[in-house]
Amino acid sequence: MGTYDLIWRGEYTTMEMMKPPAEVLYARELQALQQEDTGKRPPNWLLSPVYIRDFIIGREQPARLDGEEVTITRKFYGNDILIERAIVTLAGNRGLMLVGEPGTAKTMLSELLSAAISGTSTNTIQGTAGTTEDMIKYSWNYAMLLDKGPSEQALVPSPLYHGMKKGIVTRFEEITRCPSEAQDSLISIMSDKVMNIPELESGVLFAKPGFNIIGTANIRDKGVNEMSSALKRRFNFETIRPISNVKLEARIIESQAHNLLVHSGIDMPIDLEIVELLATTFMELRTGMTREGYKIDVPQAVMSTAEAVSVYVQSAMTSYYYEDKNVTLDRLVQNMLGTVAKENEKDLAALKTYFSRVIKERAREDQLWAAYYEEKKWIG
């Protein structure tokens, strides 16, 4: 039973979770699409590739559920053809590796794909420097092992084991954070779709149809634990690039900030003017180029859309709890400092220069940018 089945049955609600997974957050959309979908689908998939694409990038025509229209919203903003390629990859025998700068929605896309294909996005391995082969494949309940010897009851399955046994997608987050020897334990599994378990009499676990792996890796982590060529050959790589359009980035900030505030119990309208101002600031500091065509210094910090969302949400929450009002520009700048100085405190100089050169000039002709410039005092 998929995770969103529990939502349909009323066993828990989105408000009982700090961050609902995709199959919970979009349960009605998934159910409506599943009822409507008569397309060709790979074995053990909940939706056909066409309907998975629609679920992720949205569509104009609503679906129907119990006589009511359900809007199919856009959840991922970027290259729509990349989404089609990713879905087709997962329908085949190769894994999918999503790579890109931090904060480019690799994890979110991985979650959306898993939810639409398997009904659950929580079957996840989180890669760290301490991840071992046992954590990736399986381990043992040693009390039961000593008492009764090797058995399926004594075996402690990993998310990868569950994925193979149930025929569902396994997500592997930050795979390059894992030691190389742990990464390479995936090679034979991805090649043969078999996990060897020599301790058990059966000896092997054969993957059911529907099993596959979605990995994610940050470009900035390249070289930390570089993937071997053998492992790379088992994946199709897709690069998720940063948003390059201010209006589009502003829409993403608006949508995600709204969802986060709602699930934090905060009833506050999104200030669209401040959102666009924030999107402009982050894009210009990320690219090193202003809309007027001037080159500016780029901080070492990741000025991603995800970080911009975090800055807006933190600013809104600060204004809400301490001033009982909507987001304010002073709180915006205060919360921006922590993002810019995350890698190196010297990066604040780049922000200060941006205010002195770019925002000061815009302040001559625009009241919002003038008010924004007044908050330069918080930078120091």
Q: What is the pLDDT of residue 90?
A: 97
Q: What is the pLDDT of residue 330?
A: 95
pTM given for the model:
0.87
Closest by Cα among 357, 315, 316 to 338: 315
Under 8 Å between Cβ of 46 and 54: no
Q: What is the pLDDT of residue 219?
A: 82
Query: What is d(CA 372, CA 380) in angstroms, rounded to the nearest whole number?
Result: 15
Q: What is the pLDDT of residue 361?
A: 94
Q: What is the pLDDT of residue 7?
A: 45
Q: What is the pLDDT of residue 221?
A: 66
Q: What is the pLDDT of residue 14?
A: 55
Query: What is d(CA 372, CA 377) in angstroms, rounded to the nearest whole number?
Result: 10
Which residues does 172 contact at the CB level (< 8 Å), separation at least 6? 124, 125, 127, 160, 186, 213, 214, 215, 216
- pLDDT tens digits, 282-337: 999 999 999 999 999 999 888 999 999 999 999 999 999 999 889 999 999 999 99
Query: What is d(CA 89, CA 81) in angstroms, rounded to the nearest whole number?
Result: 12
Q: Where are the alpha helices (DSSP H) in the chain?
A: 3-8, 22-25, 27-36, 49-57, 80-91, 106-118, 133-136, 142-148, 159-166, 180-183, 187-192, 229-232, 246-263, 272-287, 305-322, 329-340, 348-354, 360-363, 367-374
**Residues in the chain, pLDDT under 50:** 1, 3-4, 6-10
Q: What is the pLDDT of residue 1?
A: 45
Query: What is d(CA 54, CA 63) in angstroms, rounded to the nearest whole number?
Result: 11
